[in-house]
Chains A and B, each alone.
Chain A
Amino acid sequence: MSRIVDARGLNCPEPVIMTKRAMDEGQVDRLVTIVDQTAALENVTKLAKSQGFEVEVENKEGDYYITMIRSGQMTAEAADMQEDVAVLITSRYLGQGNEELGGILMRSFLYTLNELSGRVKNIIFMNSGVFLTTEGSEVLEILQGLSREGVKVLSCGTCLDFYGLKDKLAVGEITNMYTATEILSRASRSITL
């Protein structure tokens, strides 16, 4: 049985309570709760996972549609696609030591990210990592390819300013620490280089 809970315009904990009530009424295999606040999104998602539901979230014009399906009923492929991997790159070189080697390794890593097709949602570049997203970068083509596939390529604005690269951004968009932190904290997995 499917249910829809429209909790738009309501403050916490009302969306969570309405969702829990729907779950407790029994025999609900698929439940969609609609909210318009990120706190409600996080709390409803947390509730759903604690009750054994698998969760899928869609953002439609500022409203969040949280689809909750009892575990085991979501297909393996859909479950795989739900993974939200965020990558944080803090240097233009991968690892410490030889910079030439570090550049080669970074290029190889970014190329291999393509192998995680569909799961990487955001790549954030900070500190000297912003040299990878600006003119002259040897990995621009790879990053532009990822961007075309829907991966968000984000460069720290403070870092671009520091290195005098703000007008040389060649792929993706500028971000700030708040957004970066939010992305990393909400990702199902994060990778930091």
Chain B
Amino acid sequence: MKRRFEQLVDQHGSRIFQLARLMLQREDEAEDVAQETLVKLWRNAENLRQGEELPWLITCTRNACLDILRGRTRTRSLLQLVVSENKALNHADERGPAEEMHIDERTRSLRAALAEMPEPARSLLILRDIQELDVATVACTLELSENQVKVYTFRARRQLRYRLEEESNAQVA
């Protein structure tokens, strides 16, 4: 069981961490979610059948992220915003200048716009376009048909594009 657990962590660990990071936009929270998911995987590894692991892991991670996001909207206050802004700034300070240069404005705005997308559009874009998961796995995870996954991804991407264009136009104006 331990070997299987280690294999699954090696195979999918990065994927679940990336999903959490893109959904939450916070490194510390994403780490907590990934850790929690791995512990749950250990507890449930025996009951998971071959091939079911990835959809299970994604569902688990996504649900944990959605819980945090719901909690954020409930308890959002000025103080919390100030704290998280300071944290973000501190994280930025920790990065070296060379690394800072690589993170361009476009990527940042893309991530921010993605984080603000409603569900399931955000999850679809992360899973299909960023993580390039196959349609069947995403359909299984989000409980949609394969055609729905394709069409909803198309719509989500277009919605994201319009948002980015509006943002860009507003900055120019």
Q: Are A and B bound to each other? A: no
A residues adjacent to B (C-beta < 8 A): none
B residues adjacent to A (C-beta < 8 A): none
